[in-house]
Amino acid sequence: MQQSEPARIIIVMGVSSSGKSTVGAALGRALHAPFLDGDRYHPEANVEKMRAGIPLTDDDRWPWLEALAAALKEAADKKKGIAVGACSALKKAYRDFITEKAGEPVCFVYLHGSRDVIGERMAKRSHEYMPTSLLDSQFATLEVPDPATENVIVVPVTDPVNRIVTTVTDKLEHLKSFKRWQ
């Protein structure tokens, strides 16, 4: 698979506090596309586990990932356009599963940052159910996507949001064929 394989579904991914929701929402605005925050698709049991500081297992994640993939596909199909999502997508198996369930190519935008940078960000924010104690489990689970074998664009979390959006949209030339993004 080559980097930036044409895709209508774009998922901003990374560990907690990497900026997925902020970047995803900005990318959605830039592309005139709906933005779906993956956090909203977690079943209540997942939310309660995380709130209690218990890392999610693969079994916890599959239904969540399937629901998000279906919602992104539906959003992209609704107006025959583009959909942007935010999802940790920490393992390659999760990214493959999302792509399989979407039934079409998905482009992942990986927000890459060090444990120190992300830890500082996490300490400065308040999240409804993601305590800072889970950050190490996020990094332990993370399988960094490989642009040589996955449909991924890697951007540093330290770049300003507008620069990240410009970097991504510049690499997604195929999206200009959608009338909504002009």
Domain borders along the chain are: 9-175
CB contact at 8 A, 36 and 85: yes
3-state secondary structure of 125: coil
Asked if the model's pLDDT at residue 145 lies above 90, the reply is yes
pLDDT per residue over 108-132, tens digit each?
A: 999 999 999 998 887 776 655 555 6
Q: pLDDT category, 50, cuts 50, 70, 90?
A: confident
Does residue 178 surpass a pLDDT of 90? no
Question: Mean pLDDT throughout 89-117?
Answer: 95
Task: Quote the pLDDT of residue 18.
Answer: 92
Q: Which of 40-49, 120-129, 150-159 has the highest mean pLDDT?
A: 150-159
Question: What are φ and ψ of residue 177, in 5° steps?
Answer: -75, -15
**Domain 9-175 superfamily per CATH:** P-loop containing nucleotide triphosphate hydrolases (3.40.50.300)
What helix, strand, coil percent values describe the chain, rounded to 5? 50, 15, 35
pTM: 0.88
Give 1's pLDDT tier (boundaries 50, 70, 90): very low
Q: Quick check: 136 and 16 in contact, CB under 8 A?
A: no
What confidence category does residue 2 fall into, taking pLDDT thresholds of 50, 70 and 90?
very low
- pLDDT level of residue 5 (50, 70, 90 thresholds): low
Mean pLDDT over 64-81 rounds to 91
Tell me which residue of 177, 150, 161 sits closest to 24, measured CA to CA.
Answer: 161
pLDDT value for 136: 84
pLDDT at 173 over 70: yes
Which is nearest to 35 in space by CA: 47, 27, 44, 43?
27
Q: Say if residue 75's pLDDT is above 50.
A: yes
Residues 27, 131: Cα–Cα separation, whole Å: 26
